[in-house]
Amino acid sequence: MSGFISNAVIAIASATILARSGNDAPTLASVTTAMGVGGSIGAILLSISSGPKRRIHCLLLGDALTNLCRLPLGLALSPAIWVAAGSFSGFFMPWLGVFNQGIWLSKVEPEVQGRVFASRYLIAQIASPLGIAISGPLADYVFEPAMQTGGFLAGIFSGIFGTGNGAGMALQFTLFSCCGILISLGGYAFKQLRDVEILLPDHE
């Protein structure tokens, strides 16, 4: 579910920034670069640190923080804020892959890791494109028309996102990011997930 939401957000990120910046390509390039730099710094720090004993916390909180740091990309209109938000969201993104993979590697017996990881990858590859597939049509046919002047959502959200080109995508981007935060933190409500490193023994 997290991958579904993340891909739904990422799918419209560039279009949102371009629409809100008046199709300013250098602004988009700056934000994209900031994400890459933040991700590189995050990955380097993870490579020189063993990390906490309870990796599930870094996985769930890392996903929540990634989405939290994305919020200004939808809420703000300042390129400087977008760059800062991009760098911080990029910083936390490596947490997801590193700690998720670490948990699986420590719990799944080496003899069956190939089959387990292949099945896991297949499931992820089914869910992720669905997020991309629905994001564009939602932007074009629901959120963008709804946030034009007189649209059915404009009266509610225009004070935050304004109206016109890009306002609907900014709203959609923000709502999906909030869903990502709730899903990540909601993982703590499930003991099987929250305590997975305690309930499942490491393989020998």
Distances (CA, A) of 68 to 84, 141, 174: 12, 26, 9
Burial of 167 (0-12, 13-18, 19+ CB in 10 A): buried
Domains and CATH numbers, the chain: 2-199 (1.20.1250)
The dihedrals phi and psi of 39, each to the nearest 5 degrees, come to -65, -40
What's the pLDDT tens digit per position in 162-177?
999 999 999 999 999 9
What's the pLDDT tens digit per position in 101-142?
888 888 888 888 888 888 888 887 777 788 888 999 999 999
Can you say whether residue 23 is alpha, beta or left, with left for phi > 0 and alpha for psi between -120 and 50 degrees? left
